[in-house]
Chains A and B, each alone.
Chain A
Amino acid sequence: MYAKSLGLRTFVVLIYIFLLAPIVVVVLVSFNPTSGFRIPTSGFSFRWYEKFLGLAAFRDSLFFISLPVALCASLLASTIGTLAAIGLARGGILARNAVESFFMLPLLIPSILLGAALYLVFASLGLAGNIWTLIVGHTLLGTPYVLRVVGAGLVSIDPRLEEAAISLGCTPRQAFVRVVMPLLRSSVLSGAIFAFIVSFSDINLALFVAGPETTTLPIHIFSQIFWEGDPTIAAASTAQILIVGGLMLLLQRIFNVRMSF
């Protein structure tokens, strides 16, 4: 009733400014022609993007670590998560609510603790710094998102479609594979995109698990903030923001994902 009151609207605008300020500022500074952290007023420049792509450490952390890791983690998480979502919805599991909350555990336990715990295990096994340790950790972080999205997709499919297929002569399994699975495709893809984003922007787990040979882009940005004082970091960050923002837009526009969890 009061959503249209001027006071509330002003407050909401201020909060959005607060929410977006740190992101917008990074993007603007990346186009600054001089080497200070200023918002460009007299012309835009792409020199920091050239420097970003020219520096092997930055380039490799994006193209050889962050992107492949996110891709593998997203593939694994969407496979594992989709199977688990189907199992939860159709498996006739006892104590389903308890199992479901147990499955959300990776979201609830702080990821620095997951990172620390994983690192100690991997280091004891002599596997620390291996790229697969990152992939395993990120798969764990991404799977709950896939579970949520695919689970919601399964609930929204009309059960009568399946019943119709069965009454037309399909076995229950055929009905599931031929009717439900195709309808589930966009949910699975949305879940995969979420898992990709989670892996791509994670720093808390990577802080522990990533080794010197497997520095992800956020980790490299983090280490450069301490050393470096030019907008190359801003250019690298903008690349990150653009990829994440673009994927989010894709989720909302194409897949109509309801953005609440």
Chain B
Amino acid sequence: MPKTSMSSATERDAGSPLGILPAWVWLLGPYLLLLALALILPIAYLSVISIFRHDPQSMWVAAPTLANYTHLADSYYLQVAWRTLRIGIVTTVGTAILGVPLAYWLARCSRRALAIGMFFVVMPMMVSTVIRAFGWMIILGRNGLINQASVQLGIGRWLFVMNTETAIVIALIQICLPLLVLPTMAAMEKIPIALEEAGTNLGAGPLRLFRLVILPLAMPGIASGAMLSFVVTISVVVTSALMGGSANRMIGNEIYDQVITAMNWPFASAMAISLIAIVIGLLTLSLTIGRHASRRRLRLRS
């Protein structure tokens, strides 16, 4: 009944100004307009200028060329792309190793602990990434808190991690943890405790139980969290600039420089479009995996 209530109301009020249009037009219209003008149109514009020629005066000349994309195959950009992918993979794996046990604990802890635990997972996620990178710089820097403490203990400075890929990965794992924990926890909550008890009764130890029962059932959640983490990681600008220094630039830094400093819009667009293609490819892949997994689960049940 509620499903048709809006449309029947609209038919009745056909005389009022809002009633001329079907309900969904003025309900969904504003957001559709925003998406069309601020998302679809800009990305379409990007993909068009990515095949135009660069011109220092007018930014681009409408002369179709693939030069911007072939330029991406330069050894320098291949190196940047490989570094970005490497950091993305290491970060995602690291996030999963830390995040899955945390998600399991959240899914199984008391209600009181859950409220506090969730708050301290989501609150850090909402603090600006630049502030979190700044915090890591204070902790890990040459004269950072860890080195200050060890100087005071008489060990001297030993931690020289800033401006390396390791520093980027540490900061990124902190950024990605909530993104992985939330969907993983949602999936684990749905696993009945009876399954764990059954597994234990049948002689499985905690690790075996985890590997054979929890992990497969939580996989859709872990996969979507990991996918999200990977997408965030490969498109990062601020974190890599602050933690990695000038020697560890990632694709995001190159896009930023081409747009703002070098003002080579066609080339920047080609990079951005390539990155979007990777992201959309990953999204489709994870959707297919998710669908496959749910079909398999259905088969198991029947």
Task: Please list the residues of chain A having a beta carbon within 8 angstroms of any beta carbon in chain B.
Answer: 1-3, 5, 8-9, 11-12, 15-16, 18-26, 29, 36-39, 79-81, 83-84, 86-88, 90-93, 99, 102-103, 105-106, 108-114, 116-121, 124, 136-137, 139-140, 143, 147, 159, 162-163, 166, 171-173, 175-176, 197-198, 201-204, 207-208, 218, 221-222, 225, 233-234, 237, 240-241, 244-245, 248-249, 252, 259-261
Contact = CB atoms under 8 A, between A and B. Distances in A.
B144 A37 contact: yes
Contact of B231 (A12, A18, A108, A198): A108
B242 interface: yes
B122 interface: yes
Interface of B: 1-9, 12-13, 23-24, 26-28, 30-31, 34-35, 38-39, 41-43, 45-46, 49, 59, 98-99, 101-102, 104-105, 108-109, 115, 117-124, 126-139, 141, 143-145, 148, 171, 173-174, 177-178, 182-183, 185-186, 193, 196-197, 200, 206, 209, 231-232, 234-238, 242, 252, 255-256, 259-260, 265, 268-269, 272, 275-276, 279, 283
Contacts of B275: 110, 113
Contacts of A5: 206
Contacts of B145: 25, 37-39
Contact of A113 (B8, B109, B265, B276): B276
Given A86-B27, A112-B255, A249-B119, A203 B129 contact: yes
Q: Is the interface of B mostly helix, strand, loop or mixed?
A: helix
Contact of B1 (A24, A159, A225): A159
A237 to B, nearest CB: 4
A126 B276 CA distance: 25
A207 B231 contact: no
Contacts of B148: 38
